[in-house]
Amino acid sequence: MSSPASDSASTSPSTTYPSTTTAPTEAGVAGALEAVLSDQQAGWLADARARVSAAPTQVGAVFPAVRRSCGAGLLPSPDATLSGWTVDDAARALLLVDVARAGLPPDDLAREVQDLYRYGDAAERRAVLRALPLLDAVLGDRALPVVTDALRTNDTRIVGAAVGPYAASHLDADAFRQAVLKCVFVGVPLASFSGLSERADAELARMLADFAHERIAAGREVPADIWLVLDRFPEAVETAGLREELSSPVPERRAAAQRALAGHDAAVAQEG
């Protein structure tokens, strides 16, 4: 174990982890939506928001109809915190902001969020996950069960939406490392993983280097984005014995090691 401090911190469920990752803002979401909704769509959303503001428990009835009423395309926005968001994600996030603002006690808000996720289809679940940073001030870590459920799926849309700023702030050290490994495993790009540069540690590097070694031993590809972490912990690469694989008697293993370490060189060149 590399970091006793963070490990002991992880036993406290209410810990918030330091992260410089920027989170989406309500103004950013609303602005991006305004630019893309037709008058009819904007009218529907205004009505829905008024309805939810007046009676927050109505959100469950409104939530499934968002996509049909506002659209489902990618949300065009120069705002990097909204990268990959769709129009329905954004509209649903604003409805959740309204629920949070309607004065529900935090535990009731958490239950509403969990119900929307529990009874949501894949698109609704993705929207709930993406909206969590906007609710963080009220929710604290109360929505963590939603994130951990999402991280148990193999649906890359759900996993990718789960590893945003909220997860970066609230997952404990073990869960954070497992989330990174899960992304590598199912093919969610690490470039979109919030808080990775702040929270990556030597233990995560060891796990990723072992994963790379297992892939090389099988003659398989190693995703290049693991070098986002491994480059900062070169001792993990040495300890895992990746370089020794370059002289393996098995040709497939030698070739896989060459390809994997070439990914490393490319990443270094890109940084340089």
Partner 1 sequence: MRIFDPHIHMTSRTTDDYEAMYAAGVRALVEPAFWLGQPRSNVGSFVDYFDSLLGWEPFRAAQFGIEHFCTIGLNPKEANDPRCVEVLDLLPRFLAKDRVVAVGELGYDSMTKEEDEAFSRQLELALEHDLPVLVHTPHRDKAAGTRRTLDVIKEAGVPAERVIIDHLNEMTVAMVRDAGCWAAFSVYPDTKMDEHRMVRILQEHGLERMLVNSAADWGRSDPLKTLKTGRAMLEAGFSDDDVDRVLWLNPVEFYAQSGRLTLEDESIETGASATFQGSSVLRGARDN
Q: Which residues bind partner 1 (CB under 8 A)?
A: 61, 64-65, 67-68, 72-74, 86, 88, 119, 121-123, 125, 153-158, 160, 185-189
Q: Which is nearer to partner 1, 30 or 224 (CB)?
A: 224
Measured from the CB of residue 225, what is the shortest distance to partner 1 in angstroms? 10
Compare residues 1 and 218 and give the one whose CB is closer to partner 1.
218
Q: Which of 139, 131, 77 is nearest to 110 (CA)?
A: 139
Q: How many CA atoms lie within 13 A of 95 on its CB side?
A: 34
Nearest to partner 1 of 121, 235 (CB atom)? 121
Question: Least Å distance between CB 217 and partner 1?
Answer: 13
Report whether 40 contacts 34 (CB < 8 A): no
Q: How far is the CB of 188 from partner 1 (least distance, A)?
A: 6
Q: Which is nearer to partner 1, 96 or 139 (CB)?
A: 96
Q: For partner 1, which is the closer residue by CB, 35 or 185?
A: 185
Shortest reach from residue 116's CB to partner 1, in Å: 11
CB of 161 to partner 1, least distance (A): 11
Would you say 141 or 225 has its CB closer to partner 1? 225
The minimum distance between CB 102 and partner 1, in angstroms, equals 22
